[in-house]
Amino acid sequence: MKIYEIQALLERYFDKVELVGSSNVTIDGPAKIECAAKGNVSFVANEKYTRFIESTEASLLIVGEQTPTKQYSDSLSFLKVKDPYTAFVFVLQMFSSPRVIASDGVSPSAVIGENVMLGKNVSIGDHVVIGDHCVIGDNTVIGPNTVLMERVVTGRDCMFYPGVICYDGTILGDRVTIHSGTVLGADGFGFAPQPDGGYIKIPQMGIVEIHDDVEIGANNTIDRATMGSTVIEKGVKIDNLVQIAHNCRIGENTVIASQAGISGSVSIGKHCMIGGQAGFAGHLSLPDKTHVAAKAGVSKSLQKSAQTLRGIPAQPIRDQLRQEALLRSLDKMKRKLDALEEEVRQMQKGKGQQAEGKNT
Amino acid sequence: MKIYEIQALLERYFDKVELVGSSNVTIDGPAKIECAAKGNVSFVANEKYTRFIESTEASLLIVGEQTPTKQYSDSLSFLKVKDPYTAFVFVLQMFSSPRVIASDGVSPSAVIGENVMLGKNVSIGDHVVIGDHCVIGDNTVIGPNTVLMERVVTGRDCMFYPGVICYDGTILGDRVTIHSGTVLGADGFGFAPQPDGGYIKIPQMGIVEIHDDVEIGANNTIDRATMGSTVIEKGVKIDNLVQIAHNCRIGENTVIASQAGISGSVSIGKHCMIGGQAGFAGHLSLPDKTHVAAKAGVSKSLQKSAQTLRGIPAQPIRDQLRQEALLRSLDKMKRKLDALEEEVRQMQKGKGQQAEGKNT
Amino acid sequence: MKIYEIQALLERYFDKVELVGSSNVTIDGPAKIECAAKGNVSFVANEKYTRFIESTEASLLIVGEQTPTKQYSDSLSFLKVKDPYTAFVFVLQMFSSPRVIASDGVSPSAVIGENVMLGKNVSIGDHVVIGDHCVIGDNTVIGPNTVLMERVVTGRDCMFYPGVICYDGTILGDRVTIHSGTVLGADGFGFAPQPDGGYIKIPQMGIVEIHDDVEIGANNTIDRATMGSTVIEKGVKIDNLVQIAHNCRIGENTVIASQAGISGSVSIGKHCMIGGQAGFAGHLSLPDKTHVAAKAGVSKSLQKSAQTLRGIPAQPIRDQLRQEALLRSLDKMKRKLDALEEEVRQMQKGKGQQAEGKNT
């Protein structure tokens, strides 16, 4: 691929793409700036990386509009754009070949239930099991050994990687991607305690709803609602090993990092960012644009949007950082307190002697 | 279903079921009180929800014996029982249709090993693999793509959802339910460090034993013992993504929430409740009725039963809450200490001046 | 098996193996010292367990060279070696029968893609799916329902337990063991935020590389690199439910306990030990021999090797333990501060009265 072709691609997304250097050089793939070789394209989106421009062996760099580009060698060209990070993502997309998850059509080893509606151009992989009354949208790809139980409905252009399990009644929108080992719609964790110390199971009669453009990583668990739906709204991105319990609602474009755990009936707003290993008590709600730091333990609802929470139990980050600083200075406080106590003792002793002195 | 039928059902479980309103109304399904529509049955088990009685559109509410029920509209009937929460669970069970996990009999695509004993009325799903010498109890259902390695023994009325993996030798009691993606009996994490910095694997020769009436959620890992058994006792309920290491014993009717991690050789008593993301150091034991709060880090054994632990490291909740409160007041303490120091300095200065004054 | 045969085995590994007692006794299996019966072999590697020697019913104990062995009953023999723990591991290996993961050859229900190279003596289980252009090394065993997507390359003597998923391009060395439910090579969690609040996916074009002698437990997720490789070096051991994000590098012989979470681009040195539920912020690096305590939250890189970190945020364990001790004494500090404040108040009052006294 030539640099002018990459420029043409970026011009589809950016108003202004300025070329510095030659446009006819061949680019054969992307690389990180510090590892790039001749023929590679890389990028600088962060000032910390500008120091690598001098020494990189890349042939093309995508950089910001303000990045100085004049002083470098003739073998290095630049494309200058407003958002070089996103531009580089488009370049990556150009070079990435589509992954084969399942061949076109229905594998002979797949088992398709009764009254299943398959859309146009679907790919159903080896050993897939699709239960009765499922509906699979156009262009959807289902990887090997994935199981959809009864009445699962997917939109168009969905991707199920190998080994996904969808329980009965799960509903997915368009362009949803589910990675391997993820279980959608298992029973919520609901048991009613009995006088004998045992439990009876609360039937989990609801479903899981996944809206458009959601991507869910590997080995996650998203439980069905007791009644109604557990809802993952449009554009949500979920990492790996995340637990989302029954009756949760995760708002549009919220991002959840690995190993976070969301307890039952929690409602998270839109555009939130949840850090890795964060945990949530049940039945609370967080407003839009809340950020939760990694490992935080969120124990109550929040009213004000766009706050950052941190700590166990979680509090606004400013308070938490102040508290952590105080904690680190606790040793100093203790020494100061002991010194002061000693001083006061000396003063009292002095006063006593003074008093005694007066008496004599 | 008519209200009198629901009343008849509840009378099987409760000594007294008092009807207020008409008994001949048709009920078509359950719903949460705040979302209920005409024809729905809902419940109030918690005083916080009594405020919804006025406005609910449900046709029937299951409520406590003491709940006032006279002042509401004619279209709303009540069934009054001692434990409306459990009563509602029975109502949910009435309305929930059994889930199809696998069709009756053995799927032609399942692979059954040698010397396997299948009980009466078993259902073995598509692409299931059952190893040699397994024993499958009556009425047990094994979902698609589940694998039982050699010598797995299940009791009667067990349910394996799709994609469960049981390693060789796992033993399950009656009425055990295992959700998708759970791995029972993988090797315990045991390696002996060697002088060269490497490790040799300690053979994991034990098994996993799951007793009657246990339910285990999705994507859990319960490791086999090094020698002997990792034991999950009768009635235990485990949520999703929980780790139970080799040689643990989890006591009867204990409940473990999502993402908790139990290290090797830990013994947990009966009727305990373990919160989400809680962690346990190895080789410790907790007595009956211990509660462990979410995210707690339990680092030592406990003697006294029925305590609640919280914090990292975990301590009795009263101490931990006191410590958390002190931590929040640390800023105030610091200011007080600084003020006191200043005061003492002033006093000393004053004394000095006084002393000087005397000399003049 | 006779005691002299066990002695002969151990003499292959240890310079000196001293027998105390009879060598012709039959040993039928290993057991823990406190549960051992006649015919069992057990061991004492830790002084805490010497108290069991008196009462054990084992017929043979493997003990340290310095352990006193004269005073016990005739029915108990001893083998004395330098490292009884490792010696017992070899004894366990003698008694453990190899597990059948898949039968020899290729199961008729497995689906093998095009241009796949199968080594000698491979075992490919039921319902396995192997994508195009995969290479499977000699003696490698692939358990039922495991899926290798395209271009996966394994070395020799690898073991895949049932239900493993390897994404395309994953490369494994020799003698690698992967337990059930683990997902290797799923997409790294990379999305570029857009001005409208949505995200575009960053293609994850790299791979996962697993070097020789690595063992990976159940239900782990190890993500592929965005560009380049996520690397698990030789001899690494990983427990269950661990997350290793894109572009991480885990150094030789490092051990990672259950539910730890390693964020993107983290580099961990050789011979490290990572505790359960520990978490790591992205892009940091830890030197060789670092120990990270369970539940720690590592938030920055470390320069000095062989340190132990603990706490959230993590700090050297000495500082953290000091801080935890101070925290526990916070109540005492508060009381001391309040008492001191009162004392100073009294002193000032006294001074005031004194001053007043003077005036009168």
Chain segment A268-298, per-residue pLDDT in tens: 999 999 999 999 999 999 999 999 999 999 9
| Set A179, A246, A283, A291: catalytic member | A246
In a domain, B235, yes or no: no
Our CA-based measurement puts residue C250 at a distance from the nearest CA of chain B, in whole angstroms, of 14
What is the least distance, in Å, from the CA of A82 to any CA of chain B? 42
CATH code of the domain covering residue A73: 3.40.1390.10
Where a domain ends, among A62, A95, A128?
Answer: A95
Residue of A nearest to C329 (CA): A334
- The tens digit of pLDDT for each residue in C105-141 reads 999 999 999 999 999 999 999 999 999 999 999 999 9
Query: Are residues B279 and C259, on separate chains, in Cβ contact within 8 Å?
Result: yes
**Where a domain ends, among A95, A128, A143?**
A95
Q: Model confidence over C282-291: pLDDT tens digits?
A: 999 999 999 9
- Of the three residues A95, A110, A126, the one that is the final residue of a domain is A95
Domain-embedded: residue B140: no
- Alpha-carbon distance of A248 to A232, in angstroms, equals 8
pLDDT band at residue A360 under the 50/70/90 scheme: very low
Per the prediction, chain A carries an average pLDDT of 94
DSSP A65-105: TTS--TTS-TT-EEEEES-HHHHHHHHHHHHPPPP-SS-SE
Q: Taking a C-beta distance cutoff of 8 angstroms, is the pair A254, A288 a contact?
A: no
pLDDT score recorded for residue B96: 87
Q: Is B211 designated active site?
A: no
**Which of the residues A240, A256, A305 would you substitute to probe the C interface, choosing the one with the greatest number of C C-beta atoms within 10 Å?**
A240
Which of B112, B149, B164, B223 to mutate: most C Cβ within 10 Å?
B149
Does A343 reside within a domain?
yes
End-to-end C-alpha distance for chain B, whole angstroms: 104
pLDDT at A352: 63
Contact B198 C331 (CB under 8 A): no
In angstroms, rounded to a whole number, what is the distance separating the alpha carbons of residues B358 and C14? 86
Q: Is B223 a domain residue?
A: no
Q: Does A327 sit within 8 Å of C327, measured CB to CB? A: yes
Question: Alpha helices, DSSP H only, in chain C?
Answer: 3-11, 84-95, 317-328, 330-359
Contact state of A240 with C259 under an 8 Å Cβ cutoff: no
C-beta separation of B288 from B251 below 8 A? yes
Dihedral, A173, A176, A179, A182 alpha carbons, nearest 10:
-20
* Helix, strand, coil share of chain C (percent; to 5): 20, 25, 55
Give per-residue pLDDT as tens, A165-208.
999 999 999 999 999 999 999 999 999 999 999 999 999 999 99
Strand partners, A80: A18, A63
Q: Which of B32, B33, B35, B241 to mutate to test the interface with A (most CBs of A within 10 A)?
A: B241
Asked whether B239 and B216 are in contact (CB, 8 A), the reply is no
* C176 contacts in chain B (CB < 8 Å): none
Task: Collapse the DSSP code of A2 into the 3-class scheme (helix H, G, I; strand E, B; otherwise coil) and give the result.
Answer: strand
Contact C246, C190 (CB under 8 A): yes
Examine residue C52 and state whether it is found in any structural domain, yes or no: yes
Contact list in B for residue A201 (CB cut-off 8 A) is 89, 215
Report chain C residues whose CB lies below 8 A from the CB of A107.
111
Surface-to-core class of residue C162, CB atoms within 10 Å of its CB (0-12 exposed, 13-18 middle, 19+ buried): buried
Q: Is A346 part of any domain? A: yes
- Percentage of residues of chain A with pLDDT beyond 90: 88
CB contact under 8 A, B279 and C295: yes
Residue B337: closest CA among chain C residues belongs to which residue?
C337
- Residues of chain C predicted below pLDDT 50: 360
Instruction: Kindly indicate the confidence band of residue A347, based on its pLDDT and cuts at 50, 70 and 90.
Output: confident
Cβ separation C348–B343 shorter than 8 A:
yes
Q: Is residue C298 part of a domain?
A: no
Q: Which of C64, C25, C18 lies closest to C41 in space, CA to CA?
A: C25
* Of residues A110 and A70, more confidently modeled: A110
State the Cα–Cα distance between residues C344 and A309, nearest whole angstrom.
39
Structure token digits, residue B197: 């910095």
From chain B, pick out residues whose CB is under 8 angstroms from the CB of C220. none
Q: Which of C133, C246, C271, C283 is catalytic?
A: C246
Q: Which residues contact A104 (CB under 8 A, 6 or more apart)?
A: A121, A123
User: Which residue of C86, C127, C315, C320 to mutate against B (max B Cβ within 10 Å)?
Assistant: C127
**pTM (2 d.p.):** 0.94
Q: A350 to chain B: which residues are within 8 Å by CB?
A: 351
Name the residue in chain A with its Cα closest to that of C218.
A219
Positions of chain B with pLDDT under 50: 360
Count, in order, helices (H) and strands (E) of chain B: 4, 37
- Domain limits at A49? 3-95
Identify which of B99, B294, B327 has the shortest CB distance to residue A168: B99
**pLDDT at residue C360, rounded to an integer:** 45
Nearest to A259 among C147, C183, C261 (CB): C261
Q: Which partners does chain A have (≥3 C-beta pairs < 8 Å)?
A: B, C
The answer to whether residue C7 sits within a structural domain is yes
C129, C199, C340 member nearest A253 (Cβ): C199
Tell me how many domains chain B contains: 2
Distance CA A224, CA A152 (A): 13
DSSP conformation letters of A201-258: EPP---EEEE-TT-EE-TT-EEPPPSSSEEEE-TT-EE-SS-EE-TT-EE-TT-EE-T
CA distances from C202 to A76, A106, A267, B50, C224 (A): 24, 29, 28, 50, 12
